[in-house]
Amino acid sequence: MFRSFPRLFHPLVFKRNASYRRFGSQPTVSFTRLFQSRYTLYFAGSCIAFYLYNLDEAPFTKRRRLLWVPYWLERKVGDYSYAQIMAQYKNQISPSGDPNYLLISRVMNRLLASAVDNTPDPQQAAHVRSLDWSIHIIRPHGAEEPPNAFILPNGKIFIFSSILPICRDEDGLATVLSHELAHQLAHHSSEQLSKQPIYLALSTLLYMATGISWFNDLLIAGLLQMPASREMESEADRIGCELMAHSCFDVTRAVDFWARMGAWEQKSQKATPMLEFLSTHPNTQKRMADIRSWMPALEQIRESSDCYHWKSFSDFHRNFFGKR
């Protein structure tokens, strides 16, 4: 009389259908097994050997750093950057008749001659002489660009006209140009490129451990990238001041230049309050204090360069620039 029905809730069926599986779950990484793997040890050993083999000594300051990017690649990066900058400012380059070109070339010739004569590395000196040095003054149209200047790894020099009033004279201009030249003599562009794989590897490992990308990027920037950038900026200040002293410029005027730059920052409200560990540059007051602390050594360099005799200027007649 009673019709039998199939058992819809068979124990095995119910257990299988009721089991919960998290959507999108991924297998976890066993860091213990990863670090105990012999391949990991081989890779780590190779990285350490690569790091030690490519340790380089910065000129003048003798700072040890990782540097594996060759000169030719550094120059290629400069060529690429040069093409981009010229495309951006091609209609804002001051014509060759601008008298500031003569002023800038005169200062740069003295600095370059000093760099070639005082670098302890013959390969470095040959590299400086081999570059196709040229100067470009940028006079922005419309909105005024902040005062700036930079030198690319291929020897192309860019100076915004807005920085010239702050420089005021040859010593102020030498402060700016020697700093930018120091970046190239120390190959800071190559140093930054050399460290990028390390930052990428650390970011990947931190993401595997935390799963949070923005925090990892902030951590790496605050603890590694920004301090390294500030260190290179301070190093460029030191090398630049030594170049000024060797070239018989008045290094005490470098402090005056940074005082004027600090006044411009305050006036234009560019000196925004920022945590030190998030800044790529040392603050202006620290730079002035550093230069003052270096002054005794810089004065000795200037005196040893025989700057108080006319014969000391005989080497500054060398021209590193072609006819414009």
Phi then psi dihedrals of residue 133, to 5 deg: -75, 135
Measured between alpha carbons, how far is 176 from 81 in angstroms, rounded to an integer?
Answer: 20
Decide: 158 and 139 in contact? Cβ < 8 Å.
no
Q: Are 107 and 177 in contact (CB under 8 A)?
A: yes
Give the type of residue at 19.
S
**Of 74, 180, 235, 242, catalytic:** 180
Please name the residue ranges forming H helices in the chain.
11-18, 31-36, 38-53, 71-89, 100-118, 122-130, 164-167, 170-185, 188-210, 213-220, 226-246, 252-267, 284-304
Structure tokens at 239: 């090398």
**CA nearest neighbour of 238 among 303, 307, 298, 195:** 298
Distance CA 279, CA 274 (A): 7
Whether 242 sits among the annotated catalytic residues: the reply is no
Strand partners, 134: 156
What is the Cα–Cα distance from 39 to 89, expressed in whole angstroms? 50
**How, if at all, do strands 156-160 and 149-151 pair?**
antiparallel
3 state SS of 134:
strand
Handedness of CA 176, 182, 75, 195 (dihedral sign): negative
What CA–CA distance (Å, rounded) separates 229 from 191?
Answer: 10
Alpha-carbon distance values, 98 to 55, 139, 147, 249 (Å): 43, 11, 18, 23
The interaxial angle of helices 284-304 and 226-246, nearest 10 deg, is 30
Annotated catalytic residues are 180
